[in-house]
Structure 1
Amino acid sequence: MKNDPLLLGGREFTSRFILGSGKYSVALIDAAVEEAGAEIITLALRRAEAGEKDNIMEHIPETVTLLPNTSGARNADEAIRIARLSREVGYGSFIKIEIMSDTKYLLPDNNETIKATEILAKDGFVVLPYMYPDLYAARALVSAGAAAVMPLGAPIGTNKGLCTKEFIKILVREIDLPVIVDAGIGRPSQACEAMEMGAAAIMANTAVATAGNVPLMARAFKEAVRAGRNAYLAGLGRIKEEAAASDPLTGFLDS
Structure 2
Amino acid sequence: MAIIHLIRSPIQTETMMNTHSTADALVLYGQLFTSRLLLGTARYPSLHVLEASIQAARPAMVTVALRRQLAMQGNADIGFLRALNRQDAVLLPNTAGCHSVNEAVTTAKMAREVFETDWIKLELIGDDYTLQPDPVGLIEASEILMRDGFKVLPYCTEDLVVAGRLIDVGCEALMPWGAPIGTGKGIINPYGLRLLRERLKDIPLIVDAGLGIPSHACQVMEWGFEAVLLNTAVSQAAQPEVMAQAFASAIHAGREAYLAGPMPERDSAYPSTPVVGMPFWHHRNDHPLPENSAVPPPSEGL
TM-score range, shorter chain: over 0.9
Residues 17 and 222, structure 1, Cα contact 8 Å, conserved in 2: yes
Q: Which residue of 1 aligns with 2:252?
A: 226
Residue in structure 1 matching 2:240, options 214, 236, 240: 214
Q: Which residue of 2 aligns with 1:192?
A: 218
Residue in structure 2 matching 1:80, options 105, 109, 116: 105
Residues 154 and 185, structure 1, Cα contact 8 Å, conserved in 2: yes
Residue in structure 2 matching 1:157, options 182, 197, 205: 182
Distance 1:253 1:118 in 2: 70
Distance 1:131 1:90 in 2: 24
Q: Which residue of 2 aligns with 1:239?
A: 265
Residues 32 and 38, structure 1, Cα contact 8 Å, conserved in 2: no
Residue in structure 1 matching 2:53, options 32, 37, 41: 32
Of residues 97-106 and 122-131 in structure 1, the stretch that sits farther from structure 2 once superposed is 97-106
**3-state SS of 1:41 partner:** strand
Q: Which residue of 2 aligns with 1:63?
A: 88
Which structure is larger by alpha-carbon Rg, 1 or 2? Answer: 2
Distance 1:170 1:27 in 2: 40
User: Aligned ranges for residues 4-23 of structure 1 at < 5 Å?
Assistant: 4-23=24-43
Residues 53 and 242, structure 2, Cα contact 8 Å, conserved in 1: no
Residues 196 and 228, structure 1, Cα contact 8 Å, conserved in 2: yes
Superposition CA RMSD, Å: 1.6
1:20 CA drift (Å): 2.1
Residues 42 and 235, structure 2, Cα contact 8 Å, conserved in 1: no
Gap runs ≥5 in structure 1 = none
Distance 1:3 1:180 in 2: 19
1:210 CA drift (Å): 1.5
Q: Which residue of 2 aligns with 1:111?
A: 136
Q: Which residue of 2 aligns with 1:128?
A: 153
Partner amino acid, structure 2, of 1:40: M
Residue in structure 2 matching 1:45, options 66, 72, 76: 66
1:26 CA drift (Å): 1.6
1:101 CA drift (Å): 2.8
**3-state SS of 1:250 partner:** coil
Residues 184 and 210, structure 2, Cα contact 8 Å, conserved in 1: yes
Residues 93 and 115, structure 2, Cα contact 8 Å, conserved in 1: no
Of residues 54-63 and 209-218 in structure 1, the stretch that sits farther from structure 2 once superposed is 54-63
Distance 1:127 1:219 in 2: 27
Q: Which residue of 1 aligns with 2:8?
A: none
Question: TM-score w.r.t. structure 1 length?
Answer: 0.95
User: How many matched pairs?
Assistant: 255
2:278 is the alignment partner of 1:252? yes
1:34 CA drift (Å): 1.3
**3-state SS of 1:89 partner:** helix
Residue in structure 2 matching 1:172, options 182, 194, 197: 197
Q: Deviations over 1:130-178 (max 9, x none)?
A: 0011000001111111131111101100101111222111111112211
**3-state SS of 1:252 partner:** coil
Residues 31 and 218, structure 1, Cα contact 8 Å, conserved in 2: no
Q: Deviations over 1:201-254 (max 9, x none)?
A: 001111111112222111100100000000111111111100010121231345
Residues 105 and 155, structure 1, Cα contact 8 Å, conserved in 2: yes
Distance 1:95 1:7 in 2: 16
Q: Deviations over 1:190-209 (max 9, x none)?
A: 00001001111001111111
1:28 CA drift (Å): 4.1
Question: TM-score w.r.t. structure 2 length?
Answer: 0.81
Identity of aligned residues (%): 42
Gap runs ≥5 in structure 2 = 1-20, 282-302
